Amino acid sequence: MGDATSDSIEVIIPNENDKTVPRCSHGPALLFERTRNVAQKGRRFYACSACRDRKDCNLFQWEDEKISEVRSLAREAQNSSKSPPFTHQEYSSRFLKFVSLPVEQRRFCVDCQLLILPGEWMNHAKHRALSENVSVQMLKRPSLLLSPLDNKKSNAQYLFADRSCNFLLDVLLGLGFQKFLCVGTPRLHERIKLRNAEGGSPIKSLLLDIDYRFCQFYGQDEFCRYNMFNHYFFDEQEAVTEFKAFLCEEGGAKVIMITDPPFGGLVKPLANSFSQISQTWKSVNDESEHVEMPIIWTFPYFFESRILEYFPSFSMLDYQVDYENHPLYKHGMTGRKQSPVRLFTNLSPKGVQLPADEGYRTDVNGDIVMNVVTVSSHHGVTVRLVVAVLFLITPVVRNKQAVSTVAATNTK
Ligand SMILES: C[S@@+](CC[C@H](N)C(=O)[O-])C[C@H]1O[C@@H](n2cnc3c(N)ncnc32)[C@H](O)[C@@H]1O
Ligand SMILES: [Zn+2]
Ligand SMILES: [Zn+2]
């Protein structure tokens, strides 16, 4: 599967310094080339990098199109009307005021998805719902307070189930990572902060995500509003400085990046952004060209060849990533469909011990993986299935087989 759709649209990675690239409220547009007929040269156009549905963002411009002054002003006005109502700094000072209030005065407007201060209550009086008595515990779990933005063609905010989140965290802590760059993984970031509050050696986490609602809960040293399709930091220089400082492995604190992009996202621009992140990591740590930043990229298994095209050193691990609020991508133990989402990584697969209590088995050589899955039969009887998968066959066949074997048995 490629990034070309049926009428063949290819993404062209624009030159970083090209100031003529049009912008929408999601930052610089991406350049696409549409080819209807192989014999003819394609026509290039700019469109929004973040939204795949024109209803969500209607930026469109032919590459060679001249934009009138009037249209350009209208676009600027539209962009600023779609910007967050507050700057990150303003959100942070609102948060400080908010936590200093007695709990009975702490309200969250569900309609506006905003923590509101007493002087603003009147403006929200007619809104659909208000959460009152917002406790410190609730503020520590923004992913529960906020409604997930589950629009498939833009945010696709599907949150890790606790078991997947804890598995990732435990494995990576076991491998000695102390700094987590969470790109589009707000639940993991939240989980890290909760672990820190429980004690133990502190883990650092920086969340990069396009969802500005997180500015309400996390300071500028913990959250940067970022677009992973064009490697754009909304707070530009200020955020880039935080980002670079975070990547610096001062005192030997090892950094890893974990990303879980929207499933329909185009692989090419994502890979370009992740390469740029990796380049920055290399430059701040004086690493040689041959050393790679440790990365885990969570994505459906059928993108394996696409991801490997850009990151040949990556391998796909058999772990099935599960989501709390996705209708299909749930854990097999409930008898639902199996999640097709896997981990792609440049970590050594042998170092990533898949959890035995979830039915994963690996022999000492890593040659054979036994995936033992518990499913419920039609009559509610629980049966144990053992799927032995030989590593000698090619990775694509191996992983598809693992999925289809279990899925086929599930439907019996
Ligand atoms: C599939 S969800 C992953 C959430 C993750 N499973 C978790 O529980 O932490 C995709 C995440 O990427 C974010 N996102 C969507 N589009 C983005 C973009 N263009 N740039 C950066 N983040 C984006 C969403 O807001 C969401 O948090
Ligand atoms: Zn846009
Ligand atoms: Zn409101």
Q: Which residues contact 93 (CB under 8 A, 6 or more apart)?
A: none
**What's the whole-number mean pLDDT along residues 75-88?**
94
Residue with tokens 């303003």: 90
- Does 27 sit in the ligand 1 pocket, CB within 6 Å? no
Atom of ligand 1 nearest to the CA of 159: 8
**Is the separation of the CB atoms in 292 and 304 below 8 Å?**
no
| Ligand 3 geometric centre to CA of 367 (Å) | 56
Name the nearest CA neighbour of 120 among 128, 109, 131.
109
CA nearest ligand 1 atom 8, residue = 159
pLDDT confidence of residue 400: 36
Distance, CA 262 to ligand 1 centroid (Å)? 6
Mean pLDDT of 395-411: 32
pLDDT over 70 (residue 97)? yes
The two tokens of residue 140 are: 């520590």
How does residue 328 score in pLDDT terms, banded at 50, 70 and 90? Answer: low
Q: How far is CA 16 from the centre of its chain?
A: 23
The CA 116 to ligand 2 mean position distance, Å, reads 27
pLDDT of residue 363: 62
Tell me which of 3-7, 11-15, 67-71 is least confident: 3-7
pLDDT score of 384: 35
Q: How crowded is residue 328: how many other Cβ atoms within 10 Å of its Cβ?
A: 11
Question: Measured from the CB, is residue 184 less than 6 Å from ligand 1?
Answer: yes
Rounded mean pLDDT of 343-349? Answer: 96
115 Cα–ligand 1 center, Å: 21
Question: Does the pLDDT at position 382 exceed 60?
Answer: no
Q: Does residue 247 line the site of ligand 1, with CB under 6 A?
A: no
The class that CATH gives domain 162-355 is alpha beta
Crossing angle (nearest 10°) for helices 162-174 and 186-197: 70
User: How far does the centroid of ligand 1 lie from the alpha carbon of residue 189, in Å?
Assistant: 12
| Residues, CB-to-ion distance under 5 Å, ligand 2 | 24, 26, 48, 57
Rounded to whole angstroms, the Cα distance separating 188 from 256 reads: 13
Ligand closest in space to the Cα of 82 = 2
Indicate whether 374 pLDDT > 70.
Answer: no
Question: What are the tens digits of pLDDT across the range 117-169?
Answer: 999 999 999 997 777 889 999 999 999 999 888 777 677 789 999 999 999 99
From 143, 210, 267, 321, give the residue whose CB has the most ligand 1 atoms within 8 Å, as the site to mutate.
210
Going by the DSSP 8-state scheme, the letter that residue 163 receives in this structure is: H
Residue 190 alpha carbon, nearest atom of ligand 1: 9
- Extract the runs of DSSP E, i.e. beta strands, from 90-236: 107-109, 114-116, 130-131, 177-183, 204-209, 223-227, 232-233
DSSP single-letter state for residue 289: T
The better pLDDT of the pair 201, 144 is held by 144
Q: Pocket of ligand 1, candidates 25, 228, 272: which has the most ligand atoms within 8 Å of its Cβ, to mutate? A: 228
- What digits encode the pLDDT tens for the residues 295-323? 999 999 999 999 999 999 999 999 999 99
Q: Specify the pLDDT at position 264.
A: 84
Residue 5: its pLDDT value, please?
46
Average confidence (pLDDT) over 76-87: 93
Count of residues for the chain? 412
Q: Which of 160, 185, 296 to mutate to test the pocket of ligand 1 (most atoms within 8 A of CB)?
A: 185
Band of residue 270 on the pLDDT scale cut at 50, 70, 90: very high
Cβ of 322 less than 6 Å from ligand 1 = no
pLDDT for residue 327 = 62
pTM (two decimals) = 0.87
Gap from CA of 209 to ligand 1 centroid (Å): 6
Burial class for 367, CB neighbours closer than 10 Å (0-12, 13-18, 19+) = exposed
What tokens were used for 340?
Answer: 């097709």
Residues pairing with 204 in the sheet: 179
Q: What residue spans define the domains of the chain?
A: 9-81, 88-139, 162-355
Phi, psi of 373 (to 5 degrees): -120, 135
| pLDDT on residue 205 | 98
Q: Is the pLDDT of residue 20 over 70?
A: yes
Element (H, E) at 28: strand 27-28
The C-alpha atoms of residue 248 and residue 252 are separated, in whole angstroms, by 9
8-state DSSP, 15: P
* Confidence at residue 53, expressed as pLDDT on a 0 to 100 scale: 86
In order of 26, 28, 229, 243, 393, the CA distances from 232 in angstroms are 8, 8, 8, 12, 40
Least-confidence region, from 8-17, 100-109, 136-145, 240-249: 8-17
Q: What is the pLDDT of residues 253-262, one digit of tens each?
A: 999 999 999 9
**Pairing verdict, β 30-34 and 43-47:** antiparallel
Q: What is the pLDDT of residue 129?
A: 74
Distance CA 31, CA 29 (A): 7
Per-residue pLDDT at 362:
67
